[in-house]
Amino acid sequence: MSTIELLASFSLLLVPLFFYLTRNSRSKAPSKSNPKSYPLIGSSAAIFANRNRTTQWTSDLIQSSPTVTVVLRRFLDDTRVFTGNPANVQHILKTKFYDYEKGSKSRQTLFDFLGNGIFNIDGDSWKFQRQVSSHEFNTKSLRKFMATVVDTEVSQRLIPILSTAAANNTVLDLQDILQRFAFDNICKIAFGHDPAYLLPDLPEAEFAKTFDDAAKISSGRFATLLPFLWKIKRFLNIGSEKRLKEACSYLREFARNIIKEKKQELSNKPSLETVDLLSRFLSSGHSDEDFVTDIVISFILAGRDTTSAALTWYFWLLSQNPEIEKEILREIKDKSESPVYEERAGDGVSNDGKWSFVGRDPYSYPVFQAGPRICLGKDMAFLQMKRVVAGILRRFKVVPAAEDGVEPVFVSFATSKMEGGFPEPTCVKSSLSEYEDEKLLISQHLKVVERKLHQFASHGGLPFMANRDYS
């Protein structure tokens, strides 16, 4: 009997047991914010029913909970706590930080992808990597190098591609463009390597696609209804686990080749100014191949999808708030060509009626984490995103091409993206003579699902018709 047949037979034995328990077992009385929980399987039935909208569903549960906290019990009493209570978040991330480690389950789940990188370790190993990384991130030369890289990528690659698309009334997916932009940036900043992913012909990048697949499969392990299934698949080397093994092998080989080339470069030019992060690590004596490889992969994860996802959602939110967009445009005009935009403290609107940037409480909105694990690249991320926003909004007006009232779907893997798009996006036509500046048309299908509950789309990207009218 083949492996697949064995798994199929095992699954068939579980199905009757699953339905017997859900139909005949006494359940714990559900509260308004907690689904029914049964012996052995917990709330697996509800979790399975909402598997395609996990983020939205758990958010609804949290919001309806008096304590803003929900406990979900899965198969074999695998218990998980979800909280949106800032006091709880502060307790976990700061007050009792050392009591809430990543833990063996989390480390094991992500190990194939992240290894012993800084995002997947605890204790002394984490402290060491944190100290080494913190020292490198806080150098003025690195900040200057990053600003140069970002400005060059914006002016020489991003803006020309958008301008050409505008002139030709071409369709683009903004999320894809921003991911390409961020991938080029992090590769240049982290290890002085230019993958040239953001070019006019939008070339296929095997590394970027493989990295996406590895991140998605690894994150998907956490959502598996029966946690032992992914371990069985990994042991048998079948399905998604086989793809993950191949992807991780490719990624590590890619990283090792970069490290090898960088070591050779440094040995040939001992006086070379070490500006990229990899050069700094190697020059400071950290040459263990596995250690540096894990750092390379962690830096790509930290610098690629995070800023591109934030910018994607930013432009969509901006399109929904035209009055705020006007204030941002006014600030950009006031700053002229300056790439620097200050964060102004305040409470929304100042006395003169102008909007100001308000930093949210990190425990209410821990997008950069908080406490000892707060993101080392936070300031650099803001620097990069402000330059991109200013560069685009000076020239283009970003307008969703989706139906009114339709919102893209938030998907949470390793980072928070919009649901991926269709291979043949729809072009939304407009009269280019109506606008005074450059015009950009970016469009993509959004398949609408659960319109009655959330007006979300099952597929998104970020379809935009963009042009700038300064009148």
Q: What is the DSSP string of 56-122?
A: HHHHHHHHHSTTSEEEEE-GGG-EEEEE--HHHHHIIIIITGGGS--HHHHHHHHHHHHTT-GGG--
- pLDDT for 14 equals 52
Which pLDDT score is estimated for 428? Answer: 27
Q: Are residues 250 and 152 in the same domain?
A: yes
User: Do residues 18 and 123 share a domain?
Assistant: no
Both 140 and 58 in a single domain? no
pLDDT for res 144: 86
* CA–CA dist 324, 19 (Å, integer): 52
Residue 384 lies in a domain: yes
List the structure tokens of 327: 């204030």
Q: 370 and 341 in one domain?
A: yes
CA distances from 201 to 56, 161, 377, 433 (A): 36, 9, 31, 27
Q: Is residue 431 one of the residues assigned to a domain? A: no
How many domains does the chain fold into?
2
User: For position 368, which CATH number holds?
Assistant: 1.10.630.10
Asked whether the beta carbons of 442 and 165 are under 8 A apart, the reply is yes
399 Cβ partners below 8 Å, 6+ apart?
319, 464, 465, 466, 467
55 and 163 share one domain: no
pTM for the model:
0.76
Q: What's the confidence (pLDDT) of residue 330?
A: 87
Does 424 map to a domain?
no
pLDDT of residue 61: 93
Are 257 and 293 in contact by the 8 Å Cβ rule? The answer is no
CA pair distance 381, 308, nearest whole angstrom: 10
Tell me which of 376, 394, 412 is where a domain ends: 394
What pLDDT is stored for residue 388 in this prediction?
92
Q: Are residues 75 and 117 in the same domain?
A: no
Residues 338 and 281 in one domain: yes
Question: Among 352, 370, 394, where does a domain finish?
Answer: 394
Q: 66 with 142, same domain?
A: no
Identify whether residues 53 and 108 lie together within a single domain.
no
- In order along its 471 residues, the chain shows pLDDT tens digits of 455 544 544 454 455 445 544 444 344 444 556 788 888 888 888 888 888 888 889 889 999 999 999 999 888 768 889 999 999 999 999 999 999 998 888 999 999 999 999 999 999 989 988 888 887 777 788 888 888 999 999 999 999 998 888 788 777 788 888 989 999 999 888 888 888 999 998 898 788 889 889 988 998 898 887 778 899 999 999 999 999 999 999 999 988 998 888 888 888 776 556 678 888 888 877 778 888 899 888 888 888 888 888 898 888 888 888 888 888 888 888 875 554 444 444 444 455 555 555 667 889 888 888 999 998 888 888 888 999 999 998 888 777 766 666 677 777 766 677 776 322 332 322 223 233 333 333 222 222 223 322 332 333 343 333 444 433
Q: Are strands 79-83 and 69-73 parallel, antiparallel or unpaired?
A: antiparallel
How far is it, in rounded angstroms, from Cα 378 to Cα 390?
18
Shared-domain flag, residues 69 and 136 = no
From 332, 363, 394, the end of a domain falls on 394
279 in a structural domain: yes
Using an 8 Å Cβ cutoff, are 397 and 467 in contact? yes
Helices (H), 284-367: 289-303, 305-320, 322-335
Same domain, 345 and 201: yes
Could you say which DSSP state residue 403 is in? P
Copy the structure tokens of residue 76.
Answer: 């074999």
Nearest to 297 by CA among 442, 81, 111: 111
Residues 220 and 150 in one domain: yes
pLDDT digits (tens, 9 = 90+) for 128-175: 888 888 877 777 888 888 889 999 999 999 999 988 887 887 777 888
Within a domain: 126: yes
What pLDDT, in 10s, does the model give residues 222-236? Answer: 888 777 889 999 999
Residue 411 lies in a domain: no
Domain that holds residue 28: 3-84
CA atoms within 13 A on the CB side of 93: 21
Residue 469 counted as domain residue: no
- Residue 93, in any domain of the structure: no
- Show the tokens assigned to 34: 């907690």
In angstroms, rounded to a whole number, what is the distance separating the alpha carbons of residues 110 and 121? 10
Closest listed residue to residue 149, CA positions, set 180, 120, 186: 186
